[in-house]
Amino acid sequence: MYDPLRAKAKVVFYTAVAVLCGLGIASGLGWTGVSNSMPVIESEPQIPESAVRPALDLSDAFVSIAETVTPAVVRIETRRVVRVANNQDPRRFFRTEPREVPRVSGGSGFIISDDGYILTNNHVVADADEITVFLFDRRSFTARLVGTDPFTDVAVIKLDGADDLNSISFGDSDALRVGEWIVAVGNPGFGGTGSQLDYTVTAGIVSAMGRPLQLIQRELDNHPETADNSGFAIEDFIQTDAVINPGNSGGPMVNLRGQVVGINSAIASRTGFYQGYGFAIPINLAKRVMRDLIEFGQVRRAYLGVQLQSITAVSAEAYGLPRVSGVEIAGVTGNGPAEEYGVRRYDVIVAVDGKAVGRVGKLQATIAERRPGDRVTLTVYRDKREIEVDVRLGEAPLDNQPVRVASAPATREHMDEKLGVRIEDLDRELAATYGYRRTGGAVITDIQPNGPASRQQVPLGWRVVEMNRQVVESAQDVRRVLDRVEGGDVVSLLLANNRNQQRIFHVRVPR
């Protein structure tokens, strides 16, 4: 007798047996991918710790630096009101009055004391109507401007009434060595509060010391209120390959001990963003400026009263120096400290208080770290021998009056073949062309491309004051001196521009 329930049970039984057999066969062929194909994840180190211990220690050092320094770094936001012209309405016949709009910018800074002083760049806070500081713990405060110094690009601001602040300690920028590890910290905060770029930490090495970029001087030249004194700019930058972008300006550069050794200040880039070169202001110079700004509200700048230029291989040969190092005195300011204590034109300063100064920026920074009235001992090469000159520093008179240089005139005299320059009498027409207030003397009116003078960067439009230490009062005086010059000789030119800034150039006559 047919039993439907029994038949149904048999079907279920045989079906289950078939499925199990199929799974067994599939598993044997590796088709299922269930249990025996699950990857085994290893978590054990594959390189012995002893083999990478130095790298791990360096990594831990970077972590410690970031944890220690970052809480002292702040984001600075500045606001100022600017007047902009309204666009003309095409339906009207008049232009509306200019309107005032707020402009927001900023950068980074770092807290240097528990009572709220902050060090940053001058260009971050200059001309600000309102300064807001954002801290690591997301608090924000209005800051007041203590003082700025455009000649070093250093500024100090202060938080009044803020507590529980983290500060950073200072190191010694003079002790930095090329190749030494440094860390650059910034707080660019692009996009406002809560931005994805609130804090950045980058590492690199010191690539070079004492870079004279002329960045500060160009910035001073572009502003009428500072252009008269752009010659007082001090540029002795630390160069690094650590990534520094515009919003990081004013942040600290620290050594592996977590001490600030510089203020991140500039980048060398054609795009405005990092391309491999970053620069920082040495903290020793910034610290000196900071103290004056806090104490006096402005910098009391020590003053030697000389016009300076760095030594080249040719000038070192001309002066009989033992090495290509030092600072050449191109001019001495009348009634200044240098003149009073016997410093002369054509002296070469090689050390201050026993510390070598091999370039202009280093000498400027060394003097800037002093105060007016301080005494310094200059080691000077004069007439191919070393002497010492004691000088009491004065205070810089920031009241120079510049005259702008116009375009070059049409040439008239023949080109001198020995130097590759054309030198003419400074008449009324040439004085007007080159911006001189008086006539008389001899002026360079043309320079042969790739000629001897051009290769030594002799400038167009400068007066020839002396040639081989002989006073020049006319173009004829120049020709008389050059008549006695032979191939292979080095000709020393003392030149002055229309601001009466003087420089010495040493040009070798081709054989």
Q: What residues are annotated to the active site?
A: 123, 153, 249
Residues 6+ apart with CB under 8 A from 462: 443, 444, 495, 496, 497, 503
Q: Give Cα separations from 390 to 289, 305, 325, 340, 407 (angstroms).
A: 24, 14, 21, 10, 43
Q: What is the largest CA-CA distance in the chain?
A: 144
E strand residue ranges, 50-174: 73-84, 99-111, 117-120, 130-134, 140-149, 154-159
Phi (first) and psi of residue 40, to 5 degrees: -95, 120
The DSSP string of 350-384 is EEETTEE--SHHHHHHHHHTS-TT-EEEEEEEETT
Q: Are 155 and 124 in contact (CB under 8 A)?
A: yes
Q: Give Cα separations from 175 to 66, 237, 246, 255, 370 (angstroms).
A: 22, 14, 27, 11, 18
List helix spans (H) across 229-388.
Answer: 283-296, 313-319, 337-340, 360-368
Q: Give Cα separations from 105 to 79, 131, 142, 274, 465 (angstroms).
A: 7, 10, 15, 19, 47
As a whole number of Å, the end-to-end CA separation of the chain is 131
Strands 348-352 and 375-382: what pairing? Answer: antiparallel
Strands 355-356 and 302-303: what pairing? Answer: unpaired
Closest CA to 305 of 385, 378, 250: 378
Question: Rounded to whole angstroms, how far apart are CA atoms 186 and 173?
Answer: 19
Given the structure tokens 């007439």, which residue do they identify? Answer: 383
**Both tokens of residue 398?**
């920031």
Q: Are 357 and 349 in contact (CB under 8 A)?
A: yes
Given the structure tokens 């100064």, which residue do they identify? Answer: 357
Residues 6+ apart with CB under 8 A from 321: 311, 348, 350, 381
**Both tokens of residue 45?**
């180190």
**Both tokens of residue 368?**
């800037």
Closest CA to 247 of 203, 294, 202, 296: 202
**Looking at this protein, which amino acid is placed at residue 213?**
L
